[in-house]
């Protein structure tokens, strides 16, 4: 016979996550099967624990005492179903044990609010004049099904002391962390990198044993006088190769070394599950994730993190509205339909799309106008007489915000044949780009 204990934190306000964690710790120290119901409520499988903790009243009292030792005020109920255990914990004097097979009788006097009902359903049952769980249990099942469907039958079974769903076992999150202390201290970077490499190898071994990889790494160096040096690394792809991770850690530490003597090191990995996937012959060729990650990290050190990525067009009509997204080569080749759309502008025959080379930021320019049309250009990048030009093409946007913009654009040809785009934002002229 299944017996379930409900451990309920009694707080006036909504319990914070630390209360829930403490309840789970208490429950796990008594039973391996624990369900996290949230909201300061935890269920645990109390079957077969009498050999360890004595009979059920003693188990309930022990749970209550342990919660008190953890700084919580908790109530405990033990019954055959979750609902009856909750009722015992919530409505009982503090520690309540419901007799086996007595769930339905115990629940009969409990109020309907014990069920987590939706607002609509609660109002509907209230309109029917139902106040207690016993009144709901006494309704004819067929009529209840006609009016409320399967949900009504499920609720009625619960209040009759029948709960067929098993406990959903909660498991603590796995922590992949390794630490090392060094009493004599490490003054140079090389031993620090070596120790971190050893820690990375150990963490990677543990990850590999569970079929996991890490998509994030964090390290903490404890320095003299209690100071800390903290760093983080997010490889382009989840990794399990200790040597590769050690290489990345070396690069990161060389770019930003700890300032002081290192007394202790901690390395922590953020685990991620990798779905095994069959490679396809039709996939795009792409760099190996390990080499790519190492190369990208070196490039970040060279040009900066904000200067590398995959270009992304922003949803705006503002000129040069582009961003940089994370570069992650996908193994999946584009679908034929998508490819056809992308290929619309692709060069074929003897034609292709004309490219504009942007000037970032746009170069300030002095433009001479005759009858409102530009006839000469002078800027740091280009100067000359304008022999042909069309415009102005006016564009504007975001007039509803403080970032409102307005711009007149001209396409012009200089005397030396250069084709360029000029822009006037109402206050000054700029050379926006050169067609090439």
Residue with smaller CB distance to other proteins, 118 or 333: 333
- The answer to whether the beta carbons of residues 249 and 233 sit under 8 Å apart is yes
Q: Which stretch binds other proteins (CB under 8 A): 185-193, 213-221, 269-277, 356-364?
A: 356-364
- Closest approach of Cβ 344 to other proteins, in Å? 7
Asked if 336 is part of the footprint of other proteins (rule: CB under 8 A), the reply reads no
Q: Which of 71, 129, 336, 345 binds other proteins (CB under 8 A)?
A: 345
Distance, CA of 397 to CA of 231 (rounded, Å)? 41
Asked if 299 is part of the footprint of other proteins (rule: CB under 8 A), the reply reads yes
Asked if 180 is part of the footprint of other proteins (rule: CB under 8 A), the reply reads no
Asked if 359 is part of the footprint of other proteins (rule: CB under 8 A), the reply reads yes
384: left (phi over 0), alpha (psi -120 to 50) or beta: left
Distance, CA of 227 to CA of 231 (rounded, Å)? 13
Asked if 352 is part of the footprint of other proteins (rule: CB under 8 A), the reply reads yes
One-character DSSP codes across 182-251: EEEEE-SHHHHHHHHHHHHHHHHHHHHHTTEEEEEEEEEEEEGGG-EEEEEE--SS-B--HHHHHHHHHH
Residue with smaller CB distance to other proteins, 21 or 338: 338
Asked if 388 is part of the footprint of other proteins (rule: CB under 8 A), the reply reads yes
Distance, CA of 71 to CA of 88 (rounded, Å)? 22
Q: Which of 50, 342, 378, 385 binds other proteins (CB under 8 A)?
A: 342
Distance, CA of 131 to CA of 430 (rounded, Å)? 76
Q: Which stretch binds other proteins (CB under 8 A): 114-122, 219-227, 248-256, 412-420?
A: 412-420
Asked if 92 is part of the footprint of other proteins (rule: CB under 8 A), the reply reads no
Distance, CA of 146 to CA of 49 (rounded, Å)? 42
Distance, CA of 90 to CA of 122 (rounded, Å)? 19
Q: Which of 227, 284, 385, 394 binds other proteins (CB under 8 A)?
A: 284
Residue with smaller CB distance to other proteins, 225 or 306: 306
Q: Which of 286, 378, 385, 394 binds other proteins (CB under 8 A)?
A: 286
Burial track 299-325 (b if 16+ CB lie within 10 A, e otherwise): ebeeeeeeeeeeeeeeeeeebeeeeee
Distance, CA of 260 to CA of 188 (rounded, Å)? 9
Q: Which helix (H) or strand (E) holds 426?
A: none
- Closest approach of Cβ 398 to other proteins, in Å? 18
Asked if 273 is part of the footprint of other proteins (rule: CB under 8 A), the reply reads no
Question: Which residues is 217 bridged to in the sheet?
Answer: 233, 269
Q: Which stretch binds other proteins (CB under 8 A): 172-180, 242-250, 252-260, 417-425?
A: 417-425
Q: Which of 13, 276, 281, 353 binds other proteins (CB under 8 A)?
A: 353
Asked if 167 is part of the footprint of other proteins (rule: CB under 8 A), the reply reads no
- Closest approach of Cβ 373 to other proteins, in Å? 9
**How many chain residues bind other proteins (CB under 8 A)?**
60
DSSP 8-state symbol, 283:
S
Residues contributing to the site for other proteins (CB under 8 A): 284-288, 291-292, 295, 298-299, 302-303, 307-313, 320, 322, 324, 327, 329-330, 333-334, 339, 342-360, 388-390, 411, 413, 417-420, 433-436
């Amino acid at each position: 016979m299944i017996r379930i204990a409900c451990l309920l934190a009694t707080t006036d306000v909504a319990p914070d996550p630390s209360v829930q964690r403490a309840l789970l710790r208490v429950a796990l120290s008594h039973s391996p099967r624990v369900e996290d119901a949230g909201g300061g409520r935890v269920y645990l499988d109390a079957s077969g624990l009498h050999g360890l903790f004595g009979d059920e009243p003693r188990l309930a009292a022990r749970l209550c005492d342990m919660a008190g030792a953890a700084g919580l005020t908790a109530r405990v109920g033990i019954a055959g179903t979750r609902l009856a255990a909750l009722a015992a914990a919530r409505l009982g004097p503090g520690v309540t044990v419901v007799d086996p097979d007595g769930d339905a009788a115990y629940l009969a006097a409990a109020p309907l609010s014990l069920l987590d009902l939706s607002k609509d359903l609660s109002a509907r049952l209230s309109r029917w004049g139902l106040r207690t769980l016993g009144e709901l249990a006494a309704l004819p099942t067929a009529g209840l099904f006609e009016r409320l469907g399967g949900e009504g039958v499920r609720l009625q079974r619960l209040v009759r002391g029948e709960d067929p769903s098993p406990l959903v076992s909660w498991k603590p999150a796995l922590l992949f962390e390794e630490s090392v202390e060094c009493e004599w201290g490490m003054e140079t970077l090389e031993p620090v990198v070596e120790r971190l490499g050893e820690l990375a190898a150990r963490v990677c071994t543990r990850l590999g044993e569970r079929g996991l990889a890490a998509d994030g790494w964090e390290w903490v160096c404890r320095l003299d006088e209690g100071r800390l040096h903290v760093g983080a690394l997010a490889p382009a792809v989840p990794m399990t190769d200790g040597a590769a991770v050690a290489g990345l850690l070396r690069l990161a530490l060389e770019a930003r070394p700890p300032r002081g003597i290192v007394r202790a090191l901690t390395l922590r990995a953020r685990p991620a599950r990798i779905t095994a996937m069959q490679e396809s012959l039709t996939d795009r060729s792409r760099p190996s994730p390990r080499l790519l990650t190492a190369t990208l990290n070196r490039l970040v050190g060279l040009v900066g993190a904000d200067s590398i990525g995959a270009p992304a067009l922003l949803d705006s009509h503002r000129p040069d509205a582009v961003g940089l997204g994370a570069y992650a080569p996908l193994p999946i080749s584009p679908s034929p339909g998508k490819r056809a759309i992308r290929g619309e502008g692709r060069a074929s025959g003897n034609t292709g799309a004309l490219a504009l080379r942007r000037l970032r930021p746009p170069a300030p320019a002095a433009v001479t106008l005759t009858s409102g049309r530009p006839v000469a250009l002078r800027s740091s990048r280009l100067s000359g007489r304008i022999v042909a030009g069309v415009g102005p093409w006016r564009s504007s946007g975001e007039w509803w915000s403080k970032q409102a913009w307005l711009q007149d654009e001209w396409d012009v040809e200089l005397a030396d044949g250069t084709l360029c785009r000029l822009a006037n934002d109402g206050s000054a002229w700029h050379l926006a780009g050169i067609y090439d």
